[in-house]
Structure 1
């Protein structure tokens, strides 16, 4: 069999496989969270989220809601530091934009809940 025929069969089978996968995986909640930052963000977002009173008061002072905070916690940039592996709860810092303002959250990530301990507006 000639090389061009082999390449043709390979590309034909490969494209059919991609189309089948597109139909099977269409609409599924499939994620590829392999990096350490992505896994931590997914872990924090899968838990019950509690806000400290100081954080809620800071939101009230500048008239923001917790929906923006939830978006930052889902898509923000995570900083892993030396307190991340503390037992029983690790501390993480997550930065992101809420209404075009840079915000940094300090999160206490425990086994069953995640608590927003501090918020800084930059």
Structure 2
């Protein structure tokens, strides 16, 4: 059998198998979250973010809502050059860049502990 026919059979089988896998895993609610940014944001989302009184004051002063923070935890980007730094108390500091509902850029800092995540600082760009 010639090489081009082998390649055609291989690509046909690969495509068919890939489609089958996508249909099976989409029904189970699985998502692709293996990249570092996605994994860190998912970890913070699953723990839930705790906003203390100082964080609430910063939220009201900047005009950023809790929904903006949660949306940024879903679609935001972590600046790893400033993040993953040990923080006092055993957690790690993450600097997350996101956007508000009005599409204004925001930057906030979250300390990710083993059992919780706390909002430290919020500012608009």
TM-score w.r.t. length of structure 2: 0.79
Match of 1:88 in 2: 90
Larger radius of gyration: 1
Following TM superposition, by how much is the alpha carbon of 1:39 offset from its aligned partner in structure 2, in angstroms?
2.3
| 2:103 is the counterpart of 1:100 | yes
Gaps (5+ residues) in structure 2? none
Structure 1 unmatched ranges of 5 or more: none
1:22 and 2:25 correspond: no
Where does residue 123 of structure 2 map in the other structure? 120
Mean Cα deviation higher: 37-46 or 109-118:
37-46
1:6/1:97 CA distance change after superposition, 3 Å: same
User: Closer, same or farther in 2 for the Cα pair 1:2/1:91, shift >3 Å?
Assistant: closer
Q: In structure 1, what is the equivalent of residue 32 of structure 2?
A: 31
- Bigger mean CA offset, 10-19 vs 112-121: 10-19
* Match runs of 1:27-66 below 5 Å: 27=27, 28-35=29-36, 37-66=37-66
The separation in 1 between residues aligned to 2:6 and 2:83, in whole angstroms, is: 53
TM-score between both structures, scaled by the size of structure 1: 0.80
- Root mean square deviation of aligned Cα: 2.3
**SS across alignment from 2:30:** coil
Is the 1:52–1:118 contact (alpha carbons within 8 Å) kept by the matching residues of 2? Answer: no
Q: C-alpha distance in 2, partners of 1:110/1:40?
A: 12
Q: Secondary structure at the match of 2:96?
A: strand
Q: Distance in 2 between matches of 1:50 and 1:85?
A: 18
